[in-house]
Amino acid sequence: MTETRDLLHYDAAGLRQLVESLGQPAYRSRQIWRQLYQRGQLDPMAMSDLPSEFRQQLAEAAPPPADALEVQTSDDSSTTKALIPLGDGELIETVLIRSAPRDTVCLSSQAGCAMGCVFCATGLQGLRRQLTTGEIVRQAVLARGWSRAEGRELTHVVFMGMGEPLANYANVSEAITRLTAEDGFGISPRRLTVSTVGVPPGIRRLAAEHPRVNLAVSLHAPDTKLRRDLVPVPGASIDDILSAVREHSRETGGRVTFEYVLLQGVNDSRAQALRLADRIKGLRAHVNLIPLNPSPGVVGERPSRRATLRFQQALQESGIPATVRVEQGRDIAAACGQLRGDRLRRVE
Ligand code: SF4
């Protein structure tokens, strides 16, 4: 794997080493750290508190990453999607969602994804590679820059873009550490969510190592057989996933969100809602219902509004809080991976 060695590639110790190898005192690394994570300045030449000769040296040793290739904002201005080129030519997608008073960035954790959810454009592309910590945090730094340029502030971070974050645990974990560090990016862990299709060992590690971070689990089905049709990668059963979620909940005291993409005639019946409620009862849980937004090449139809509300009502009658996700920015491609897919279709 080719790694982009811009300054975000380095952790605090690595940055200190880099600075010292360029003949500068160690405190310069803290100046660079603040420039990167607090001011969002990724270009060494623009780090105005560094001596100009050193800026030049730094820019040669760690050239700034390329700018976003394509930035699209939805007609209602609620959503911005950016296609970001990586050093080896891979493309990832980062999304900023404005929903007053929140500005939320949706981070990708992998280029492509191995999980192959049948309704997802990213799943069609397969896994290209893991993202490095630097490539993950760069998305948050860029998105905060877009917010700030509009006089707003980034308030929330979710790992819900391309890829399965718990299948890239080490780099995602280090990214969480940097994003939540008070002398780093400074986002509260309570405002950071990891969304997973359900990787039990990863859920347990997250509880132990990042207990204040929120957990969201994409279930999409009340039973394992149907779920394996929708999320075909061989993986844990729903029992195994829910057992890890229960442990997570006991250990952290946190509430879990279950994501459930509704596909017409597949997983949207009242009986399936009641079965789902039965499986997750007793957990401090909330279900987020997402009516499918069909896109080229993916499987499934969008359920009617009536079917969606019927599903929601059945959960609520069973004592499970459930909301239907308010969709934003449908005109600029709503499902993860769609923007990247469009670009590849045009380029190839
Ligand atoms: S929905 Fe998420 S986990 Fe499933 S294929 Fe798409 S990116 Fe991967």
pLDDT over 80 at 348, yes or no:
no
How far is residue 330's CA from residue 78's CA, in Å, rounded to a whole number? 10
What's the rounded Cα separation, in Å, for the pair 106 and 80?
A: 10
Q: How far away, in angstroms, is 120 Cα from ligand 1 center?
A: 6
> Which ligand 1 atom is nearest residue 160's CA?
2
CA-nearest residue, atom 4 of ligand 1: 117
For 136, list phi and psi in degrees, rounded to 5.
-75, -50
pTM of the complete model: 0.93
- CA–centroid distance, 299 to ligand 1, in Å, is 13
Q: Please report which confidence band the pLDDT of residue 123 belongs to, taking 50, 70 and 90 as the band edges.
A: confident
Is the pLDDT score of 325 beyond 90? no
| Token pair recorded at residue 95 | 């999304």
Ligand 1 cavity residues, CB under 6 Å: 113, 115-117, 120, 122-123, 162-164, 197, 336
CA 158 to ligand 1 centroid distance, Å: 14
Q: Helices 27-37 and 133-149 sit at what angle, rounded to 10 degrees?
A: 60
d(CA 255, CA 249) in angstroms, rounded, equals 7
Q: What is the pLDDT of residues 269-285, one digit of tens each?
A: 999 999 999 999 999 99
Active site residues: 93, 336
pLDDT at 139 over 80: yes
Task: Kindly state the percentage of the chain with pLDDT values over 90.
Answer: 77
The residue among 226, 252, 222 whose CA lies nearest residue 315 is: 222
pLDDT of 267 over the 80 cut: yes
pLDDT, position 331: 58
Rounded to 5 degrees, φ, ψ at 237 are -75, 165
Which of 124, 164, 227 has the most ligand 1 atoms within 8 A of CB, as the residue to mutate?
164
Alpha carbon distance 252, 113 (integer Å): 28
Q: Whose CA is nearest to atom 2 of ligand 1?
A: 163
Q: What Å distances lie between residue 141 and 28, 31, 107, 138, 300, CA to CA?
A: 20, 16, 11, 5, 35
What confidence tens digit (pLDDT) does each residue in 16-72 have?
Answer: 999 999 999 999 999 999 999 999 999 999 999 999 999 999 999 999 998 888 888
Whether the per-residue pLDDT at 340 is higher than 50: the answer is: no
Interstrand relation of 256-262 and 285-291 (parallel, antiparallel or unpaired): parallel
Q: How far is the CA of 258 from the centre of ligand 1 (A)?
A: 15
Q: Is the pLDDT of residue 186 over 80?
A: yes
Mean pLDDT of 77-89: 91
Kindly report the length of the chain.
Answer: 348
pLDDT over threshold 60, residue 188: yes
Specify the CATH class of 70-347 in words: alpha beta
Task: Identify the pLDDT of residue 326.
Answer: 72
Strand bridging mode 156-159 / 102-106: parallel
Q: Which of 92, 108, 110, 117 to mutate to test the pocket of ligand 1 (most atoms within 8 A of CB)?
A: 117
How far is CA 45 from each of CA 54, 58, 63, 108, 209, rounded to the nearest angstrom? 9, 8, 9, 27, 36
Domain spans, the chain: 7-61, 70-347
Q: What is the pLDDT of residues 202-251, one digit of tens each?
A: 999 999 999 999 999 999 999 999 999 999 888 899 999 999 999 999 99
pLDDT at 329: 57
The token pair that represents 40 in the structure block:
């969002």
Ligand 1 atom with minimal separation from the 161 CA: 7
User: Does 1 score more than 50 pLDDT?
Assistant: no
- Judged by average pLDDT, the poorest of 52-61, 80-89, 120-129, 133-142 is 120-129
Cα(255) to ligand 1 centroid in Å equals: 22
Q: Give residue for tokens 């969606």.
A: 308
Mean pLDDT of 299-318: 95
Q: What percent of the chain has pLDDT over 70?
A: 93
Q: Which CATH number fits domain 7-61: 1.10.150.530, 2.30.30.40, 1.10.10.10, 3.30.499.10?
A: 1.10.150.530
Residue 337 has pLDDT above 90, yes or no: no
Ligand 1 pocket check: which of 92, 113, 233, 299 to mutate, most ligand atoms within 8 Å of Cβ? 113
Domains 7-61 and 70-347 share a fold: no
Residue with more model confidence, 298 or 92: 92
Reference 27, options 54, 59, 63; nearest CA is: 54
pLDDT interval class at 121 (50, 70, 90): confident
Residue 290 Cα to ligand 1 midpoint, Å, equals 14
Local structure of 81: helix, strand or coil: strand
Given this model, what pLDDT does residue 305 score?
95
* Rounded Cα–Cα distance for residues 149 and 30 (Å): 25
Cα end-to-end distance, the chain, whole Å: 22
Q: Which atom of ligand 1 is nearest to the CA of 123?
A: 5
Task: Let me know the angle formed at the C-alpha of 90 by 69 and 144, rounded to the nearest 5 degrees.
Answer: 50
How far apart, in whole angstroms, are the C-alpha atoms of residue 198 and residue 218?
7
Mind giving me the DSSP string for 2-67? ----SGGG--HHHHHHHHHHTT--THHHHHHHHHHHTS----GGG-TTS-HHHHHHHHHHSPPPPP
CA distance 110 to 210: 20
Average pLDDT, the chain: 90
Q: CA 234: distance to chain centroid? A: 22
Across the range 132-146, mean pLDDT stands at 96
